[in-house]
Structure formats: structure tokens, C-alpha cells
């Protein structure tokens, strides 16, 4: 495919993203793209498009030789993988928004792209309207990419904004995120951090050449954050956001986590509210750069799908430069995290697991402490995921082993035990 070639599209899914794309394409005649057929699941639903466009038979798209592009925007990861695989093997270029499917099948998808030589693009799958994949892929050299810190889930950011700024109840805020089309069909994916970590897996591939699974990354969502945590944050002049981050350590490995974090006022992520996403990239010589835009919703997501479709006109493919043309980085499990932990009961906090405690406070309803802990201690335990316990990263959370002793304070766990007694 090259130049202004006719793109004949088979579209899977006509929900928030699919219908958005249909409308956006109607307003983009210069693209030279036409939707030939739309495959959906429920034939009886009312649609805002001619009835003859729709089918429930996937082969009407996948086996149609006149269709040269498959756009897959459905909410079923297993069916999505089957569609994408068949489409590529049938010689069609593919655009997808299904981050869960991509995260679960990245090695197979990499192989399929190599075997077929066909484009498989998915810019909308991470941070929706922000062109983060193409930027990581094309612009930043592996050695110079010091860190990425990002809000990659619109729904949780929306919920946190609505709870802490507009004083809505959690359930009301979630319902609003669902009504506006931001949340996944199963909102547990958003709330418990699965969606954010899914996105983080393949962003790590484009940033550092790391091919990993979600089980290799420490993550949680916002499910355990309490109003009391927000009060502590406010007293310290911080906000709480669900943040995905990766930092290149001095041994060349990458520390990566997806956890709630206190965000200081001077951090650009402070400005990221509601369904917006933000990405702060720190690279050699350029210092900090900040990308900002809508991270969920019909038209913002459709705009990124449209950009991928448009890129097919000039045969754009991801080269996975960091993976195939550089020395890919590895994930590190040897670093420390500066954390804030709150609990309804001191006994829930395993003080022996902490390197040191920097502050503590015991209130009527909850106790909290600020501490430093080795990453592996958190990975290998689940006390911090239990009801009643919340774990939030401090603003500058990642500590390299070589820095640890320089930072170790005089106060220790023993001091807390004395205070308790």
C-alpha cells in the first residue's frame, strides 16, 4: 500500500470506539477510506448507520478479498486475537484498540508481524488520543530514555478527580465514567489497575524493547484508596493519581511499576484531571517533556484509530527498534520504593519488611506510615492488597540500591516499636 491508495475497511465493533470511528471517517473524505462491512455481536441493537452495513458473520469481512484493512475495536480480548490473527494471515493490514488482547498476546503478535510483513498498528490502545507509541518508537533512542511516568487510565483518573475534587461517591463517579464511555465493559479492569498495566506492558516494548507479561510488573489500582489518604495528601500538598512508571537504573535494567502515587504540585501530572492522560518523558539532553490529551472516550480514541488507518496509506509499520535493532533492556527486581502505607490496624503493617520508617501517625480510624521497602518484598507478598490497607508511592519513589545507604536515616523500625509501646 502506498500514497493515497483506497483503503477498504472491515470494522469489528460498533460501540463507543467503533461508532466514533464511523462518524469521524464520514468527516474525513480526504482519507480515501470506506467502511465496507461492520461485524457486531448483537444483531438486534439499534444502530446509527445503514442496516445493510452490519453482519454477525466475521468471515464476511475476513474472507472478503476486496477488504484490505481490518479495524478491530471489540471488547472481547479472545475473539479480538482470533480476528487479528486471521486478518494478518489473510493478508490484511490491521488496526486495533484492544490493549488487553495486545498485552496478553504480544509475543505471538510480534511473530505474526514478522511472518506476514504486514502492519499491525494500535496507537489508540494506550493513552487514546496521545501519540505515545509512535513517539516512543520513532523519537527516543533507548540509551537516552531515562524514565517515563504516565497516567494511562482515563477512568481511574476521572474517578479520583470526581471523588476528591467534586466530592462524589465512588459508585457515582464510576457510573458516570461508564455512561460517558470511558470505562471498560468490565470496570474492574480499570479500577483494579489491569487496564493500566496492560498498556504498560507494550509501552515498555516500544520504550525499552522489553517484552513482558502483566504478572512481571508490580501493580494495583485505586480500589483501596481511602478518603483519609486524600486528607493526608492534601495536608502534604499532594494529589493522588494512578501512575505507571519506568526508570532506567544505573545497571541498564528498568524498574517498572503501576501504583497509586502522591503527585507534588510541581509535577506536570498534577494538571491531568478527569479522563485526560499525561506522559512525562525524561531523556538525555532534552530533559523533561510532557504529553497531554484525552485518554478515553469515543472521538479521542477514534482520532488515534483514524491516524493509524491514515498511516497505512504509506505502509507505516512499527519496527520495534528497541527490541530488534538495539540491545533490549531487562526488567529489574533490585530496587527500593519509598511508600506511604495506611491501615485500619497497625498489626496489618509488617514492619520487619521495611528498610526503614520515615514518619508515622496513629489516628482514631487509621494509622499510616512513610517507609522504604525493597521492591521484591512487595512483589512477593500481598498484605498491602488486603482490605483496609492502602499503599501509595511517595513522589520520588524509586531508589537505586547504590543510593540506599546514603539515604538511610537515623530513625528506624525500632523507633516505631518504641513509639507504639
Ligand X SMILES: N[C@@H](CC=O)C(=O)O
Ligand Y SMILES: NC(=O)C1=CN([C@@H]2O[C@H](COP(=O)(O)OP(=O)(O)OC[C@H]3O[C@@H](n4cnc5c(N)ncnc54)[C@H](OP(=O)(O)O)[C@@H]3O)[C@@H](O)[C@H]2O)C=CC1
Binding partner of residue 112 among ligand Y, ligand X, none, CB under 5 to 8 Å per kind? none
As beta bridge partners, residue 367 has: 343, 362
Instruction: For 170-233, give the DSSP string.
Output: HHHHHHHHHHTT-S-SSTHHHHTSHHHHHHHHHHHHHHH-----GGGSEE--STT--HHHHHHH
| Least Å from the CB of residue 103 to ligand X | 12
Among 8, 98, 303, 332, binds ligand Y (CB under 6 A): 98
How many residues lie near ligand Y (CB under 6 A)?
30
Binding partner of residue 190 among ligand Y, ligand X, none, CB under 5 to 8 Å per kind? ligand X
Nearer to ligand Y, 41 or 326 (CB): 41
Nearest of 409, 239, 266 to residue 338 by alpha carbon: 409
Binding partner of residue 153 among ligand X, ligand Y, none, CB under 5 to 8 Å per kind? ligand X
What is the rounded CA–CA span in Å between residue 402 and residue 394? Answer: 19
Nearest of 97, 119, 116, 95 to residue 35 by alpha carbon: 95
Q: Find out whether 205 and 319 touch, Cβ atoms under 8 Å.
A: no
Binding partner of residue 13 among ligand X, ligand Y, none, CB under 5 to 8 Å per kind? ligand Y
Binding of residue 296 to ligand Y (CB under 6 A): yes
Question: CB neighbours of 14 closer than 8 A, spacing ≥ 6?
Answer: 22, 38, 40, 47, 49, 54
Binding of residue 128 to ligand Y (CB under 6 A): yes
Question: CB neighbours of 377 closer than 8 A, spacing ≥ 6?
Answer: 353
Catalytic residue among 37, 58, 99, 199: 199
Binding of residue 21 to ligand X (CB under 6 A): no
Nearest of 334, 328, 327 to residue 249 by alpha carbon: 334
Binding of residue 41 to ligand Y (CB under 6 A): yes
| Least Å from the CB of residue 204 to ligand X | 17
Among 72, 104, 195, 239, binds ligand X (CB under 6 A): 195
Binding of residue 72 to ligand X (CB under 6 A): no
Q: Find out whether 30 and 4 touch, Cβ atoms under 8 Å.
A: no
Binding partner of residue 16 among ligand Y, ligand X, none, CB under 5 to 8 Å per kind? ligand Y
| Least Å from the CB of residue 92 to ligand Y | 16
Q: In this structure, what C-alpha cell is assigned to residue 92? A: 490484511
Binding of residue 154 to ligand X (CB under 6 A): yes
Q: Which stretch binds ligand X (CB under 6 A): 179-187, 210-218, 310-318, 381-389?
A: 179-187
| Least Å from the CB of residue 72 to ligand X | 14
Q: List helix spans (H) across 332-412.
A: 375-379, 401-407
Binding of residue 381 to ligand Y (CB under 6 A): no
x/- contact string, 269-298, with ligand X (CB under 6 A)? --------------------------xx--
Q: In this structure, what C-alpha cell is assigned to residue 16? A: 463507543
Instruction: For 42-95, give the DSSP string.
Output: -TTS--SS-GGGEES-THHHHT-TT--EEEE--S-HHHHHHHHHHHHHTT-EEE
Binding of residue 129 to ligand Y (CB under 6 A): no
Crossing angle, helix 194-208 and helix 99-116, to 10 degrees? Answer: 30
Binding of residue 10 to ligand X (CB under 6 A): no
Q: Are strands 218-219 and 254-264 parallel, antiparallel or unpaired?
A: parallel
Nearest of 258, 234, 221, 262 to residue 164 by alpha carbon: 234
Among 7, 39, 280, 372, binds ligand Y (CB under 6 A): 39
Q: In this structure, what C-alpha cell is assigned to residue 85? A: 490473527
Binding partner of residue 181 among ligand X, ligand Y, none, CB under 5 to 8 Å per kind? ligand Y
Binding of residue 182 to ligand X (CB under 6 A): yes
| Least Å from the CB of residue 320 to ligand Y | 21
The CA-based diameter of the chain, rounded to the nearest angstrom, is 77
Q: Which stretch binds ligand X (CB under 6 A): 75-83, 147-155, 321-329, 332-340?
A: 147-155
Catalytic-residue membership of 351: no
What is the rounded CA–CA span in Å between residue 404 and residue 331? Answer: 19
133 to 51, 109, 206, 243: CA distances (angstroms): 35, 16, 7, 17
How many residues lie near ligand X (CB under 6 A)?
11
Binding partner of residue 155 among ligand Y, ligand X, none, CB under 5 to 8 Å per kind? ligand X
Q: Which stretch binds ligand Y (CB under 6 A): 8-16, 232-240, 307-315, 401-409?
A: 8-16
Catalytic residue positions, numbered? 199
Using CB under 6 A as the criterion, which residues of the chain lie in contact with ligand X when the complex forms? 128, 153-155, 182-184, 190, 195, 295-296
Using CB under 6 A as the criterion, which residues of the chain lie in contact with ligand Y when the complex forms? 12-18, 39-42, 45, 73-76, 79, 97-99, 124-125, 128, 181-182, 184-185, 296-297, 301
Amino acid at each position: 500500500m502506498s500514497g493515497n491508495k483506497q483503503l477498504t475497511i472491515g470494522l469489528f465493533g460498533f460501540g463507543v470506539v467503533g461508532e466514533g470511528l464511523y462518524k469521524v471517517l464520514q468527516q474525513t473524505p480526504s482519507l480515501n477510506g470506506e467502511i465496507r462491512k461492520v461485524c457486531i455481536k448483537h444483531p438486534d441493537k439499534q444502530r446509527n448507520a445503514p442496516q445493510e452495513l452490519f453482519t454477525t458473520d466475521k468471515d464476511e469481512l475476513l474472507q472478503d478479498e476486496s477488504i484490505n484493512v481490518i479495524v478491530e475495536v471489540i471488547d472481547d480480548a479472545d475473539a479480538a486475537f482470533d480476528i487479528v490473527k486471521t486478518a494478518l494471515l489473510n493478508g490484511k493490514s490491521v488496526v486495533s484498540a484492544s490493549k488487553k488482547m495486545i498485552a496478553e498476546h504480544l509475543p505471538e503478535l510480534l511473530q505474526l508481524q514478522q511472518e506476514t510483513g504486514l502492519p499491525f498498528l494500535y496507537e489508540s490502545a494506550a493513552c487514546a488520543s496521545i501519540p505515545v507509541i509512535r513517539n516512543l518508537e520513532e523519537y527516543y533512542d533507548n540509551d537516552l530514555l531515562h524514565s517515563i511516568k504516565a497516567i494511562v487510565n482515563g477512568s481511574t483518573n476521572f474517578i479520583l478527580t470526581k471523588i476528591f475534587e467534586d466530592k462524589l461517591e465512588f459508585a457515582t463517579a464510576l457510573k458516570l465514567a461508564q455512561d460517558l464511555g470511558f470505562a471498560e465493559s468490565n470496570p474492574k479492569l480499570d479500577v483494579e489497575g489491569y487496564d493500566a498495566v496492560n498498556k504498560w506492558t507494550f509501552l515498555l516494548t516500544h520504550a525499552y524493547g522489553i517484552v513482558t507479561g502483566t504478572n512481571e510488573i508490580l501493580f494495583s489500582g485505586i480500589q483501596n484508596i481511602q478518603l483519609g489518604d486524600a486528607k493526608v495528601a492534601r495536608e502534604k500538598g499532594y494529589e493522588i493519581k494512578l501512575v505507571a512508571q519506568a526508570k532506567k537504573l544505573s545497571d541498564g535494567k528498568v524498574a517498572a511499576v503501576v501504583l497509586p502515587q502522591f503527585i507534588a504540585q510541581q509535577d506536570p501530572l498534577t494538571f491531568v484531571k478527569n479522563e485526560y492522560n499525561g506522559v512525562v518523558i525524561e531523556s538525555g539532553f532534552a530533559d523533561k517533556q510532557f504529553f497531554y490529551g484525552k485518554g478515553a472516550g469515543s472521538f479521542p480514541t477514534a482520532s488515534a484509530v483514524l491516524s493509524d488507518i491514515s498511516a497505512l496509506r504509506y505502509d507505516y509499520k512499527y519496527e520495534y527498534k528497541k527490541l530488534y535493532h538495539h540491545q533490549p533492556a531487562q526488567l529489574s527486581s533490585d530496587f527500593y520504593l519509598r511508600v506511604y502505607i495506611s491501615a485500619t490496624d497497625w498489626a496489618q503493617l509488617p514492619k520487619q519488611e521495611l528498610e526503614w520508617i520515615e514518619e508515622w501517625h496513629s489516628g482514631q480510624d487509621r494509622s499510616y506510615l512513610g517507609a522504604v521497602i525493597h521492591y521484591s518484598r512487595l512483589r512477593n507478598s500481598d498484605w498491602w492488597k488486603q482490605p483496609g490497607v492502602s499503599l501509595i508511592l511517595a513522589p520520588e519513589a524509586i531508589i537505586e540500591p547504590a543510593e540506599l545507604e546514603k539515604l538511610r536515616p537515623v530513625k528506624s523500625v525500632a523507633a516505631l516499636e518504641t513509639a507504639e509501646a
